[in-house]
Amino acid sequence: MSEATMTHAIAIGRALLERNWMLGCAESCTGGLLSAAITDVAGSSQWFDRGFVTYSNAAKMDQLRVGRDTLERFGAVSEETAMEMAAGVLGASQLAHFAISTTGIAGPGGATPGKPVGMVCFGFARRAGEGLVTRAATHTFEGDRQQVRIASVIFALETALAFIGPL
C-alpha cells in the first residue's frame, strides 16, 4: 500500500473512532482494494464492519438492492448506482454508520460514449436519524488499469473523510 493510501486510511479510522462509527464498503471497479487498504490498518476491526465486491449488475442487485431500473436508466457506472450501492451497504448492516462505494471503468476497454476509461463514480452514505444522507462524486483518472484503481481508492478515502465532517 502506498504511503498516501495508508495516511488516508488511518485518518478515516480516527474519524470513525471519534464518532464511534463503523464503516462498510461496496466495490466494483476497485475489486476489494478499498477494503484491503482499510484492513491494512492495525486495529481496523474497531471501525470496519464489512465489504462487498459486487462486480456484476446481478451482484449489485442481489447483495446491495440496487434497482434494476437504476442500472437500466443510468448504467452501472453512474452516480445514481454508486449512491444506491452505498445505501445498500447500510441496509445490509446493522453496525455500519457510514458507507463508501466505487463503480467505474478501469480499462483498458469498456469505454462507452460519455463514459471514458478512467471514469469512476463514488457513493457515500451515512445514517442520519431515521434516514440516510447520500452523496456522489465522479472523477476521471489517468493511467493504466492499476493506476486508475489505486487512484480511486485514494480519492474515495479523501472524499469520505470530507463527507464525514467535523465532530
**Average pLDDT of every residue of the chain:** 96
Q: Inform me whether the pLDDT recorded for 95 exceeds 80.
A: yes
**Cβ atoms of residues 95 and 49 within 8 Å:** yes
Nearest Cα to 54, choosing from 115, 98, 22, 102? 102
Sheet with 23-27: strands ordered across: 48-53, 23-27, 98-104, 119-128, 131-140
- Sign for the CA dihedral angle at 42, 48, 50, 54 comes to negative
Provide the pLDDT confidence category of residue 160 given band limits of 50, 70 and 90.
Answer: very high
- How is residue 155 written as a grid cell? 480519492
Domain boundaries, the chain: 3-164
Give the architecture (CATH level 2) of 3-164.
Alpha-Beta Complex (3.90)
- Residue 55: what pLDDT? 97
Q: Inform me whether the pLDDT recorded for 75 exceeds 90.
A: yes
pLDDT in tens, 102-143: 999 999 999 999 999 999 999 999 999 889 999 999 999 999
DSSP letter, residue 100: E
What Å distances lie between residue 122 and 42, 59, 81, 84, 100, CA to CA? 25, 17, 9, 10, 7
- How is residue 126 written as a grid cell? 451515512
- Residue 165: what pLDDT? 76
Q: What is the mean pLDDT of residues 39-65?
A: 98
- Residue 167: what pLDDT? 63
pTM for this one?
Answer: 0.96
Query: H or E stretch including 27?
Result: strand 23-27
